[in-house]
Amino acid sequence: MRLNRIKPDDQNTWHHCHNRVSGTSLDRPFGPVEKEQFIRILTRVSRLCCIEVVAFQVMSTHYHVLLRTPVRLPSEAETCERYAAYYNGRRRLEPGTEAYRRWQRRMRDVSWFLRLIQQIFAVWYNRTRPVPRHGSLWADRFKNTVLESGEALWRCWAYVENNPVRAGIVTDAADYRFGSLGRWMQRGRHPFEEHLARTLLPELGPMLGITTLQDLREALRGALADDAESTATQDAPGFVLTARRRVRFWVDGVAIGSELFVRGIVGRMCQKEAVARHRLAMARAPTSADAIYAWRGCRVGVD
């Protein structure tokens, strides 16, 4: 059954998005060339859209992207400017037309954003194989988990950045060049620095007691180091908010945050009585006394 996707459009909304390629568990179709191409496409499409990417990891079988969709539609001038720049001036939009209104809506739509990236990449991938490839590249629709700003966003960011460490590729996420933290450390500038300054710093800064992007980077590095030490001997099962272990709720969960936030988000798409009865998964961050909840079970919520 094809289920709808939760995409709140009446507020700025954080999403953790993830997808993997089709094939067996032994397939590793993305090498350095493919990973670089995916990052180039992600960067290019992000200039077309007003969606703000703040973190990504491109692995040999899948990708993670952490982003925020804005509550506002882009203005008339911004919509036309982004469209013309994306097509290098070869195409333009006429304000007031149906095409203009369609593109204006698309530019803040997470479904359209990821669908376009995946489509462009799949076309390039199939065309550039030694033997031209046909058919679907991706195993399914991408998954998105809606995140509450604050502790849930902070923990998910650390989880995304530590993906190559969990995979055993590197011992320090800063050494992996196909992820946002690795590029930030190795090049001295985050690939989406403007997005971080506009979104992550204002939202996480007060909680962490920091005021600059440099402070934010060091706080993330410190959190990953502390997490490695605090979970090295931890063997308790369950929903644990650690960046060192695979936590399926970050990928399979519908919404993660406070209980009020999670029930409110899912309540947009489900009957209120069912939402109130549903048992949430509860977790505690290693360094926080505040509980964080995740909606378990089948995904709900519209592509």
Distance CA 288, CA 134 (A): 48
pTM over 0.85: yes
Other Cβ atoms closer than 10 A to 183 = 19
Over its length of 303 residues, how does the chain's per-residue pLDDT go in tens digits? 445 788 888 899 999 999 999 987 778 899 999 999 999 999 999 999 999 999 999 999 999 999 999 999 999 999 999 999 999 999 999 999 999 999 999 999 999 999 999 999 999 999 999 998 888 999 989 999 999 999 999 999 999 999 999 999 999 999 999 999 999 999 999 999 999 999 999 999 999 999 999 999 999 999 999 877 654 434 334 455 666 667 778 888 899 999 999 999 988 877 777 777 888 888 766 555 578 899 875 444 334
What CATH number has the domain bearing residue 68? Answer: 3.30.70.1290
112: containing domain: 13-72+108-294
Give the list of residues 6+ apart from residue 79 with CB closer than 8 angstroms, or none.
73, 93, 95, 100, 103, 104, 107
- Counting the structural domains of the chain, the total is 1
Could you tell me if residue 301 is inside a domain?
Answer: no
Dig out the tokens for 215 from the structure. Answer: 């402070």
Could you tell me if residue 91 is inside a domain?
Answer: no
Element (H, E) at 63: strand 62-69
The predicted structure's pLDDT at residue 298: 46
Could you tell me if residue 136 is inside a domain?
Answer: yes
Distance CA 191, CA 194 (A): 9
Distance CA 164, CA 149 (A): 24
Distance CA 227, CA 162 (A): 10
Give the list of residues 6+ apart from residue 53 with CB closer than 8 angstroms, or none.
42, 46, 65, 66, 67, 192, 195
Could you tell me if residue 92 is inside a domain?
Answer: no
Could you tell me if residue 284 is inside a domain?
Answer: yes
Could you tell me if residue 172 is inside a domain?
Answer: yes
Could you tell me if residue 302 is inside a domain?
Answer: no
Could you tell me if residue 251 is inside a domain?
Answer: yes
The predicted structure's pLDDT at residue 297: 58
> Please, is 28 exposed, middle or buried when counting C-beta atoms within 10 Å of its C-beta (0-12, 13-18, 19+)?
exposed
